[in-house]
Amino acid sequence: MGNEGAKDLAEAAVSKARSAGAAYAEARVQSNWERQFVLKNGESQPSFFAEGYGIGIRVISRGALGFAATNDMRRANIGELAKKAVRLAQASSVVLKEPVALDDSKPARRKWAPPETRKVENADSGWLRKVLLDVEGRIADGKAGVKLPGRLLYLGAELEERYYVNSDGARVEGRLPRIGFFGSLTAVEGGDTAQRFIQQGETGGLEVVKRVRLVERVEEDARAMGKVLRTAAKPPADTLDVVLSPELSGIAAHESVGHPQEADRVLGREGAQAGESYLKADSLGRKIGSAEANVSDDPNLPHSNGFVPVDDEGVETKKRFLIKDGVINEFLQNRTTAREFGLRSNGASRSVSFNREPIIRMSNTFVEPGDYTTEELIREVKHGVFFKTFTEWNIDDKRLNQRYVALEAYLIDRGELKGLVKSPVLEITTPKLWGSVKARSKHMEFESATCGKGDPMQGAPVWTGGPETLLAGIKLGSR
Amino acid sequence: MSKTDLEKLNEAAVSAAKRLGVDDAVALSARGADSMIRFANSSVTVVNRVEEAELTVYLAKDKRRAIASTSNLEGTAVKKFVGDLFSSMKGLPESEYVPLPDTPSKYAPSRLGFDRKLEELDDELPSLAKAAIDSAAAAGGKRSAGVINAGKGTVAILTSAGTRGSDSRTAITLNIRSFADNEASGHGLSCSSSLSGFDPKEAGRRAGEGAKRMKDASEPEAGKYSVLLSPTVASNLVETVAAAASAFSVDAGTSYLAGKLGKKVGSPQFSLTDHGVTEGGLGGRVFDDEGVRTRANKIVEGGDLRGYLHNLTTANKWKTKSTGSAGFVTPHPWNLEIGRGDSSYEEMVREMKRGIILTSNWYTRFKNYRTGEFSTVPRDGAYLVEGGRVVKSLKGMRAGDDLQRMFSAVTMLSREREWIQWWEVDTPTLCPWMLVDGVTITRAYG
């Protein structure tokens, strides 16, 4: 972060914690900067910017984990806080049955930053507003072929800078710029309404807006809403094939593969909040899907919303092959869970702010591409439904029973896309979903999302994505 | 950082703003100290201590408005921060602007919802966690996961018109889940603004007993059921009603309550009030972000929609007065209260011919906020009732409805109410058990 004072404070915190009795200590000085602008039905809302700066200290002492954070950056205060983290960890031993230990991952020592053509710091209120007005200009006053009386458009520019140090020798400096859009569109036609929530974002600078075709994609979504309201018919109720778009493939990969394969959930650490997992520690190698079911998580995808080349435990990240040819292949691991599995961390530990403990997170989770073109895949379907976009979705806390309600969905008849169908519901178990995968296209797309986990809650930027995915023999419901 | 320091921060920010010639300025400084212990498999997983302070500043000049927050509070940083915020307004367009109240108010802290014993509780958290874990084990839970949060938050305000004051809240909450064989689980909560009202043993007992009862759970048939919602589940859904009552949501097209002022939005049994501060309330304060005194706002009374939640800007648009619910941009609730009924839990169960009791839920998501269509996923204790008696435990289901229909089908409420605030309920809510007719229950097709 180019601030030698911050580096000294981090080093001092680790040193103070070690001398207070910590077997292991780490410190992360992190700054978060963001600017936001909002248009509500075309009206400018007050501009907003925020800047946060502080230190998070994590220690292991007598087998217990302690975390402490503050934005009072006086050296003496940080020293006292480091000692407090050690003391609180030691005091918790009355309820400690499973001591914490770390794997022997190689400590990273480097700087990192994604490519950035136009620095994110140049995103002032005027630029943010102009982008939103461009969006507004495409969809207001019925310009997208539908009345949209509810339009809430948000654009934000963020910069995270961190300096991380641990007592195993890691020294990591990272810069993470990001542009993110969120839109809530409410369409009305003939007394009926439809709603679409759109999220777009990538790491990088101001160039992100053009790269993701933000203005064009919001307009396309708005046009589709009008068609849904005007023409969508009741979906078929018999057993059929379902083609999931990249958007649907991505959310299914995230919810029913990524989450249950977080090793902390498998081991029960998130039991009281986001829940545990239908998978157990001995589930590696279990067949869960067809040979066509292949799902991965890759923190190093260029421009990705979940770009993390070195994690918040100072470990170099790598691609994780979560499901390979239908078999549970790998869990997302940090240094403590990896130690319990007798493995090395695959770099899945992330924290969103200085005041949050790093925990296991996904990055960019996706269905791997196949070898069909999209057209060839659709031609495989005699009778089916193509889920293009979704609205409501949820899943149980073991990640076994999930539901996706489509907004834009089409009937497929003898290999051709036909008319729109209204709100088909895919409510399905995880083994059934991944066991039904028959084919995948080679056309890949990614959506940005914010993944919620942890206590206190941490909203982590991720990508979800994949190709068109063909599921055979599915029963749908309707809303 | 002391209380005086918060006031100094505000003085520094407002003085800097005045020197720049703003029309309106508000400085809100906040300080929090929170302690947490988390456990899983009946063993501590982490202890957590966060000490933070933050300054938020609102400026208005020539109908241009901007808001910013910072945690960099050292030395001359505040003056620079306010200067940067003012400079950032130069390119802004005019926006909806309503002047802040020009009559200064002084706010003394409310003593409601504050217990000095909760200010520094770090050293006691492990023994409180152990009490919950042991109680759950004694009731039949084989292992438990949970979290205790305890802390104090203080907010101080100063406006350019001279409105000033500060207020503090304390809270302690326990969220515990116990697990038994066959992935059975039960849930318990204890949420209080005072240490004396905190009962980790009772929350642990509920979680352990729930896990024991869920051992042989099976999936229900899909269909319509009477559903008895625990305070935990009802609070989660009521929070979405309160969000829909924000005038900002109504304007943005994300409220099913749009166009329904004065109309029926619930059964005669359903009443919902938001309190700025209230006895036992875990949140809120005596002033809102714009320096307006908070109060009790009746949102729904006897099933009729009485009003939306407003800040100065939305109130001006709706030709009414602020309800003391600012958010500079979005009005929001502070402490929700659902009116009590006159039934006991046992009487409510006896009324159910064929129904389901739900004790916990998560992942409530909307198909359309404008229509209020949603589904939510029950978890932990769930029981089938036939002929007024619990006959078996249930799992693997989903409840779906729309909020207008659901709250119009509330038939009974319990006398007993609990404060709820946990992972799935942000706004502290005082809530009874709630019996609702005709809720759609679905399960996976394959």
B423: nearest CA partner in chain A: A273
The Cα-based distances of B429 to A327, B296, B333, B336 in angstroms read 44, 14, 10, 5
Contact check, Cβ <8 Å, B41/A272:
no
B377 and chain A: CB distance < 8 Å anywhere?
yes
Residue A4 pLDDT: 72
Classified as helix, coil or strand, A471 is: strand
Contact check, Cβ <8 Å, A394/B375:
yes
Burial class (CB in 10 A: 0-12, 13-18, 19+), B73: buried
- What is the spatial distance between Cα A12 and Cα B5, in angstroms, rounded to a whole number? 26
A76 and chain B: CB distance < 8 Å anywhere?
no
Nearest one of A166, A18, A16, A21 to A93, comparing CA atoms: A21
The Cα-based distances of B21 to A476, B16, B37, B67 in angstroms read 62, 9, 47, 16
Residue B3 pLDDT: 45
DSSP letter, residue A343: S
Residues in Cβ contact with A411 at an 8 Å cutoff, skipping those fewer than 6 apart: A233, A235, A236, A384, A385, A386, A417, A418, A419, A420, A421
Length of chain A: 479
With contact defined as beta carbons under 8 Å apart, do A98 and A337 qualify? no
Question: In this predicted model, what pLDDT tens digit does every residue of A257-273 receive, in sequence order?
Answer: 999 999 999 999 999 99
Residues 100-139 of chain A with CB under 8 A from chain B are: 100, 124-126, 129
Q: Is the dihedral of CA B60, B61, B63, B68 positive or negative?
A: negative
Considering CB atoms only, which of A44, A98, A393 is closest to B41?
A: A98
Burial class (CB in 10 A: 0-12, 13-18, 19+), A448: buried
CA distance B78 to chain A (A): 12
Residues in Cβ contact with B245 at an 8 Å cutoff, skipping those fewer than 6 apart: B255, B257, B299, B305, B307, B308, B309, B333
With contact defined as beta carbons under 8 Å apart, do A310 and A174 qualify? yes
Using 50, 70 and 90 to split pLDDT, how confident is the model at A31?
Answer: very high
Residue A288 pLDDT: 97
Mean confidence (pLDDT) of chain A = 97
B442 and chain A: CB distance < 8 Å anywhere?
yes
Residue A264 pLDDT: 98
CA distance A459 to chain B (A): 13
Residues 184-213 of chain A with CB under 8 A from chain B are: 184, 186, 193-195
A270 and chain B: CB distance < 8 Å anywhere?
yes
Residue A15 pLDDT: 98
The string of DSSP letters for A348-365 reads -EE-SSTTS--EE--SEE
Considering CB atoms only, which of A71, A150, A186 is closest to B71?
A: A71
Q: Is the dihedral of CA A321, A326, A329, A330 positive or negative?
A: positive
Burial class (CB in 10 A: 0-12, 13-18, 19+), A428: buried
DSSP letter, residue B283: S
Instruction: Tell me phi and psi for residue B407, to 5 degrees.
Output: -75, -15
Question: In this predicted model, what pLDDT tens digit does every residue of A163-220 receive, in sequence order?
Answer: 999 999 999 999 999 999 999 999 999 899 999 999 999 999 999 999 999 999 999 9
Nearest one of B32, B201, B46, B174 to A91, comparing CA atoms: B46
Say what the alpha-carbon torsion angle A425, A431, A437, A442 is, to the nearest 10 degrees: 90
pTM of the entire predicted model: 0.97
Length of chain B: 446
Considering CB atoms only, which of A92, A124, A184 is closest to B37?
A: A92
Nearest one of A336, A380, A9, A407 to A192, comparing CA atoms: A407
Residues in Cβ contact with B210 at an 8 Å cutoff, skipping those fewer than 6 apart: B178, B185, B186, B187, B188, B359, B380, B381
Using 50, 70 and 90 to split pLDDT, how confident is the model at A2?
Answer: low
- What is the spatial distance between Cα B345 and Cα A202, in angstroms, rounded to a whole number? 51
Nearest-5° Cα angle at A284, B208 to A462: 80
With contact defined as beta carbons under 8 Å apart, do A370 and A292 qualify? yes
H helix runs in B293-402, sequence order: 312-317, 345-351
Residues 380-399 of chain B with CB under 8 A from chain A are: 396, 398
CA distance B400 to chain A (A): 10
Size of interface A-B (CB pairs under 8 A): 273
- How many percent of chain A have pLDDT more than 90? 97
- What is the spatial distance between Cα B240 and Cα B368, in angstroms, rounded to a whole number? 12
CA distance B258 to chain A (A): 11
| ipTM metric | 0.96
Q: Is the dihedral of CA A387, A391, A395, A397 positive or negative?
A: positive
With contact defined as beta carbons under 8 Å apart, do B62 and B94 qualify? yes
A98 and chain B: CB distance < 8 Å anywhere?
yes
- What is the spatial distance between Cα B12 and Cα B9, in angstroms, rounded to a whole number? 5
Over its length of 446 residues, how does chain B's per-residue pLDDT go in tens digits?
444 499 999 999 999 999 999 999 999 999 999 999 999 999 999 999 999 999 999 999 999 999 999 998 987 889 999 999 999 998 899 888 999 999 999 999 998 989 999 988 888 999 999 999 999 999 999 999 999 999 999 999 999 999 999 999 999 999 999 999 878 999 999 999 999 999 999 999 999 999 999 989 999 999 999 999 999 999 999 999 999 999 999 999 999 999 999 999 999 999 999 999 999 999 999 999 999 999 999 999 999 999 999 999 999 999 999 999 999 999 999 999 999 999 999 999 999 999 999 999 999 999 999 999 999 999 999 999 999 999 999 999 999 999 999 999 999 999 999 999 999 999 999 999 999 999 999 999 86
Nearest one of B166, B167, B170 to B152, comparing CA atoms: B170
Burial class (CB in 10 A: 0-12, 13-18, 19+), A169: exposed
